[in-house]
Amino acid sequence: MQSAWGPLCILCELCDLLNLKLLMVLFDRQSVQLTISGNPVKIHIVSTGAVSVKTKFREATKTGLRAMLDFILDKKFTEWMPIWVLIIEHPEGVFVIDTGENADVNTPGYFRSSGIFANWFDTTQFKFQVAQDEEIGPQLDQLNIPADKIKAVILTHLHLDHIDGLKYFPSTPIIVSKKEWERPFGDLPKLYPPWFKPTLAALDERCDVFEHAHYLTAAKDLVLIETPGHTYHHCSVLLKADECSIFFAADICYTQNQIIEEKYSGTNASHKMARETYDKVKRFAKSNKCVFIPSHDARASLRFQELDPLVV
């Protein structure tokens, strides 16, 4: 960061460091206990490291290819953002929503097998900071949740920072929307573990305003819902607790403010779908108290702790 003192100002370096420290506190694991039909359910959000993207990747004034060109030419990166994973200790078993990033992402050549474009794109448009003990496996260990207790891993979509923790779940059922699997957008299949053959969910049920849904529990209180835009069949996960719903929004948007202020990222598969998803989420939030958790929203952990709902 530059200042009137010039590029080597030690105060700026300190500010950056302090800023990072403050942000990292926001990324600390948070747990809350709610009830479902009177039964306790423990919910945790853990950040598997941090990511930074181009500012115009996170929020764009244009759409489609013009938005892409804008962020590629953008020289500014955002502050560090979390990579949230949601863990639900439900009466029917433990569910892990997305698997986050892993420390190997910074190994030189990590993206090479995905081709020249992917290698260039993923090493120039994103920055990652992931320590080994921030990966989902060690964090589940810290929560005393053994792998064999996990009933299923649910993936919202197939992007790198949502699937790179799959290596910890070779024997766990993994559920993905059938349509997301058949028509992914911006995924890197060369980075999938060789054994990765998820259970494909058809999303042929309905949940409130969401026409494409798949109930994950017999009690119908945990639901995979299609919230397209970021990818053509991007999904979110909704947990309906007695106190409120927890809406794990994945990459519908990067911060809660974006949906309130109708601002969009520079990287939607379909801007029209993204707009329709914003409308649906708002309609849902108007009649259901829900805590809204985008995967990269640093403020989500505070709202989660305080059960501070999305107000639109």
Residues making contact with Zn ion (CB under 5 A): 159, 251
Q: Which residue is nearest to Zn ion (CB)?
A: 159
Nearer to Zn ion, 90 or 159 (CB): 159
Residue (185 or 304) nearer to Zn ion, CB: 185
Least Cβ distance, residue 19 to Zn ion (angstroms): 25
Comparison of 101 and 251: residue with beta carbon closer to Zn ion: 251
State which amino acid sits at residue 84: W
At its nearest, how many Å lie between Zn ion and the CB of residue 226? 15
Residue 136 CB, nearest approach to Zn ion (Å): 16
Nearest distance from residue 251's CB to Zn ion, in Å?
4
C-alpha distances out from residue 13 to 2, 5, 79, 209, 298, Å? 9, 12, 14, 48, 22
In the complex with Zn ion, the residue whose CB is nearer, 53 or 94, is 53
Which two structure tokens, joined as six digits, stand for 38? 């009177």
Q: Which residue, 156 or 301, is less far from Zn ion as judged by CB?
A: 156
- Nearest approach, Cβ of 181 to Zn ion (angstroms)? 15
Cβ of residue 83: shortest distance to Zn ion, in angstroms? 10
Q: How far is the CB of 21 from Zn ion (least distance, A)?
A: 27
Residue closer to Zn ion, measured from CB, 159 or 280 = 159
58 vs 159 by CB, closer to Zn ion: 159
Angle in degrees, CA 268, 207, 258, rounded to 5: 35
- CA–CA separation, 176 and 203 (whole Å): 10
Minimum distance from residue 13 beta carbon to Zn ion (Å) = 32
Q: Which is nearer to Zn ion, 122 or 251 (CB)?
A: 251
- The minimum distance between CB 159 and Zn ion, in angstroms, equals 3
Q: Are 153 and 96 in contact (CB under 8 A)?
A: yes
Tokens 């060690």 identify what position? 138
SS (HEC) of the chain: CCCCCCCCCHHHHHHHHHHHHHHHHHCCCEEEEEEECCEEEEEEEEEEEEEEEEHHHHCECCCHHHHHHHHHHCCCECCCEEEEEEEEEECCEEEEECCCCCHHHHCCCCCHHHCHHHHHHHHHCEEEECCHHHCHHHHHHHCCCCHHHEEEEECCCCCHHHHCCHHHCCCCCEEEEHHHHHCCCCCCHHHCCCCCCCEEECCCEEECCEEEEEECCCCCCEEEEECCCCCCCCEEEEEECCCCEEEEEECCCCCHHHHHCCCECCCCCCHHHHHHHHHHHHHHHHHCCEEEEECCCCCHHHHHHHCCCCCC
Residue closer to Zn ion, measured from CB, 108 or 117: 117
